[in-house]
Amino acid sequence: MKVAIINYSMGNLSSVRRSFEEIGADAVIANHPSALYEVDRIVLPGVGAFAEGMAHLNQGGWVTALHDVVNLQNKPLLGICLGMQMLASKGYEGTETEGLGFIPGEVKRIDLLGCNERIPHMGWNEVCYKSKSVMFDNIPEASDFYFVHSYAFVPTNSDNLIATVNYGCELTAAINSHHVFGCQFHPEKSSKAGRQLLKNFMSYSAC
């Protein structure tokens, strides 16, 4: 099973690649959109700002390729942190920016969502399940994952909300729609719980 990690010049990808290698996956860093047609799974990682991330995806030709392989070829996609936020219809970091639109929703600063704690939300925090998903198979409820973010995904349809995290208010921790998955936390930095989540993503099959 081959997984491509999209390199769109937003942060270091080696820890994501290493995490997939640890679970026995054949992980490649995709430097060009054509690579997405040759793999079974796609990961959109990312650290940084929404507008900048989308600009890089657009300039690199990734947006068209992603819609192609995800919508037409039904390849499973996992967005991590900023990569998860960009799955949304729209983001409000910096300027109002159109997202990839795989899962309807908007990305807003967490203080505007009712969080009165210090920003960014950084550290180990426990997730609370909202609906069942293959993403958290074999992971006990209230397991801790590693978060670093100032913005959060607000899904339009509550069906897409898989898990939340409490940080002054309830924030989205994980989302899912068909074969598109997203997690706000960093599974590659979440030790064994994160490794299990990546395993679940690799073993997911649509049925």
Instruction: Sheet containing 105-109: give its strands across.
Output: 97-98, 90-91, 105-109, 151-155
Figure out which of the listed residues 32, 67, 118, 132 binds another protein, where binding follows CB under 8 A.
118
Question: Is 188 marked active-site?
Answer: yes
Cβ closest to another protein, residue 55 vs residue 122:
122
Q: Are strands 161-166 and 151-155 parallel, antiparallel or unpaired?
A: unpaired
Q: List the interface residues with another protein, window 130-159 (CB under 8 A).
A: 138-140, 143-144, 146, 148
Contact status: 126 vs another protein (CB under 8 A): yes
Residue of 38, 52, 188, 207 with catalytic role: 188
In this complex, which beta carbon is closest to another protein, that of residue 23 or of residue 154? 23
Residue tagged active-site, from 81, 106, 115, 179: 81
Instruction: List C-alpha distances in Å: 3 to 23, 29, 99, 149, 182.
Output: 12, 9, 23, 25, 15
Q: Shortest Cβ distance from residue 73 to another protein (Å)?
A: 30
Residue keyed to tokens 């908007």: 106
Q: Give the contact letters, 6-45, x = binds to another protein (CB under 8 A), - = no.
A: -----xx-xx--xx--x-----------------------
E strand intervals along the chain = 2-6, 26-30, 41-44, 77-80, 90-91, 97-98, 105-109, 121-129, 144-149, 151-155, 161-166, 170-177, 180-183
- Let me know if 126 is a catalytic residue: no
The smaller minimum CB distance to another protein, of residues 130 and 199, is found at: 199
Active centre residues (catalytic): 81, 186, 188
